[in-house]
Homo-oligomer: A and B are copies of this chain.
Amino acid sequence: MANWQHGRESRNARIEAGAKLAQGKFVAEADVTRLMEAIIRPGDRVCLEGDNQKQADLLSAALLAVDVAKVNNLHMVQSGIVLSEHLDIFERGVAKKLDYAYSGPQSARIATMLFGGKIELGAVHTYLELFARYFIDLTPNVALIAAVSADHDGNLYTGPNTEDTPTVVEATTFKDGIVFAQVNEIVDHVPRVDIPSDRVHFIVKAGKPFFVEPLFTRDPAAITETQILTAMLAIKGVYAPYGVRRLNHGIGFSTAAIELLLPTYGEKLGLRGKVASQFALNPHPALIPAIESGWVKQIHSFGSEVGMDSYIRARPDVYFTGPDGSLRSNRAFCQVAGLYACDMFIGSTLQIDLQGNSSTVTTSRIAGFGGAPNMGSDARGRRHPSQPWLQAGLEADPGGVAPLRRGRKLVVQIGETFGDKNIPLFVEKLDALALAEKLKLELAPVMIYGDDVTHIITEEGIANLLLCRDANEREQAIRGVAGYTDVGRARDLNLVKQLRERRVICRPEDLDIDPLDADRNMLAARSMKDLVHWSGGLYAPPTQFRNW
């Protein structure tokens, strides 16, 4: 008779082996590596949590220390490659294959290791896509996760950074996998149950709180006047005419500038209540002035942000919070919200080519995708209409038959024609292509494809790609806002002029915006201290952002 219980038997054997090193579910910190050697088998798929912000750092260090004769050739399936240990395990031979989504802080080293063949790459995903595969073909055998506290039964409290944890645990535990959590403390009662105890097999109390990176904090002091100009263009040229209420903002100074202009410039334009009221967004400190000015109705978050806890607790009408009062974030649901319930994604990028394809990959850095490709793509499964979405659809296909014509997600790329270190934003060919060739990838790591982008905003103006009728118009619309980059200077002056007449290209003056008005005085907050002030002292910036 066939055995249909291989997974269950394996799980039970692992739990039994682990139990010898634990008291009930609880493991001493000194025994963590030995426990891993007991519960992880060569070739296992392992999720070493690894989120956008929260890191299971104790478990990362412990996994690095395993006996490679016992634990090796692991297939790591985790969204974030953030800590050096996440790559060290490949150097040591503990791990061999990698499927992931984001590697911001390790983007240079991961590139080197991929070039050197130290890592066998499965694929670079967007978060939701990796989560999807957790249920189909990349289900973890073992999940090594991080939480704030556990009670004596093993119920876990993740605190504001719930992030990926419920998704990772669901995929692992319900497919006969093992869940091993590090917690900051063990308490009699957890403030709320983020993960029920029967989904958790082992727990270790870490000597120090898990590491969280403040990824979404932008110091208003560093916002340039060019960024303020592009933010004005975005608000007056995109938010207002489409009436965009439900949206996501990418990470970066350009969108931080938009957030800080809503209560000043946006107010002057009479847009409060008409745009930017519902967000799929982390708790960006830069949004505090807009929240305090009554702009924001509701925010659902992927994760939290360091320093924002007290502010969030005091603003439950805006944020999702638990009975304990702290934020309940959830990356999977927030990505779903960004995909299907938002009318706009706006974010920055490193390179844009002549077709509008964009990428954050350079020949020496592979940052991964994070969530942008998911939210910055046209959700073709969407079936509910909204005015911004219908209007974008109409612009793209004016000849279409109304009730059969779909709408379009607004996907906006915003940036300066010359970015950091004066590197041009616009290129003839993405570095991603050279990288794909070098690594023999079947798919170049394109962040957002040109056919999904609807608008490109630079200090030179807005290119509305929805209004372009062919590839040539599209290319010239892009060149037409590419400024003094090589791409911009190679424009067809005549066609660009025509595109401007058709309002495919809008210059600042076409929107009655005087670039000289783009002044830092327009920012609702001009420093971190201003943000703290706006928050009524509730926002507590991380040390690296304090200069007082």
Residues of chain A at the chain B interface (Cβ within 8 Å): 2, 4-8, 99, 122-126, 128-129, 131-133, 135-137, 139, 155, 167, 170-171, 173-176, 192-193, 196-199, 245-246, 278, 280, 292, 298, 300, 314-318, 320-323, 328, 330, 332-334, 336-337, 339-342, 357, 369, 373-385, 390, 402-404, 406-407, 432-433, 436-437, 441-446, 449, 452
Is B449's CB under 8 angstroms from A380's CB? yes
How near does chain B come to A126, taking the closest CB pair, in angstroms?
A: 6
The CB with the most chain B CB atoms within 10 A, among A99, A173, A314, A383, is that of: A383
Q: Which residue on chain B has the smallest CB distance to residue A387?
A: B442
In the complex, chain B residues whose CB is within 8 Å of the CB of A330:
170
Residues of chain B contacted by A131 (CB below 8 angstroms): 333, 336
Whole-angstrom distance from the CB of A467 to the nearest CB of chain B? Answer: 20
Q: Which residues on B sit within 8 Å (CB–CB) of A128? A: 336, 340, 381
The answer to whether B341 and A136 touch across the interface, beta carbons within 8 angstroms, is yes
Contact A337-B135, Cβ < 8 Å, known A317-B6, A357-B404 = yes
Other CB < 8 Å A-B pairs besides A133-B340, A133-B384, A137-B245, 8 of them? A4-B315, A123-B384, A132-B341, A133-B341, A170-B328, A336-B336, A383-B443, A403-B436
Closest to A382 in B: B129
Tell me, in angstroms, the Cα distance from A196 to B379 when the chains sit together: 33
A171 to B196, CA, bound (A): 18
Nearest chain-B residue to A342 (Cβ)? B136
Tallying the copies of this chain within the complex gives 2
Closest to A436 in B: B403
Least Cβ–Cβ distance between A434 and chain B, in angstroms: 10
* Shortest beta-carbon distance from A332 to chain B in Å: 7
Would B126 and A381 count as touching, CB distance under 8 A? yes
Contacts of A437 in B (CB 8 A): 403
The answer to whether B136 touches A300, judged by C-beta atoms less than 8 angstroms apart, is yes
User: What's the nearest-Cβ distance from chain B to residue A13, in Å?
Assistant: 15
Given that A132-B340, A135-B337, A403-B437 are contacting pairs, would A323 and B198 also be in contact in the complex, using a CB cutoff of 8 Å?
yes
Closest Cβ of chain B to A537, distance in Å, is: 13
Residue in A128, A193, A316 with the greatest tally of chain B CB atoms within 10 Å: A316
Q: Contact between B384 and A317 (Cβ–Cβ < 8 Å)?
A: no
Contact A4 B246 (CB under 8 A): no
Given A7-B317, A341-B136, A384-B122, A433 and B404 contact (CB-CB distance below 8 Å): yes
Q: Taking A316-B4, A404-B433 as contacts, is the C-beta distance between A280 and B135 under 8 angstroms?
A: yes
User: CA separation between A383 and B126, bound complex, in Å?
Assistant: 7
**How far, in whole Å, are A177 and B349 apart by their CA atoms in the complex?**
38
A4 to B384, CA, bound (A): 30
A246 with B381, Cβ < 8 A, contacts A4-B317, A321-B174, A403-B442 known:
no
Which B residues lie within 8 Å of A339 (CB)? 132, 381
Task: Give the shortest distance, in Å, between A81 (CB) and chain B (any CB).
Answer: 15
Q: How far is the CB of A99 from chain B (nearest CB, A)?
A: 8
A198 to B196, CA, bound (A): 11
In the assembled complex, 27 residue pairs joining A and B whose CB atoms fall closer than 8 Å, in A order, are: A4-B315, A5-B316, A6-B317, A7-B316, A99-B384, A124-B383, A126-B383, A129-B340, A129-B341, A133-B341, A135-B333, A136-B278, A136-B280, A136-B342, A137-B246, A192-B196, A193-B196, A336-B336, A373-B382, A375-B381, A376-B381, A377-B380, A380-B380, A383-B445, A390-B442, A403-B432, A403-B433
Asked if B135 and A320 sit within 8 Å, CB to CB, the answer is: yes
Q: Could you tell me the distance between the alpha carbons of A374 and B384 in the complex, rounded to whole angstroms?
A: 12
Q: How far is the CA of A377 from the CA of B333 in the complex (A)?
A: 19
Smallest CB separation, A357 vs chain B (Å): 7
- Cross-chain contact B446 with A5 (CB below 8 angstroms): no
A430 vs chain B, min Cβ distance (A): 8
Instruction: Write the nearest CB–CB distance from A396 to chain B, whole angstroms.
Output: 12
Instruction: Find out whether the CB atom of A373 lies under 8 angstroms from the CB atom of B381.
Output: yes
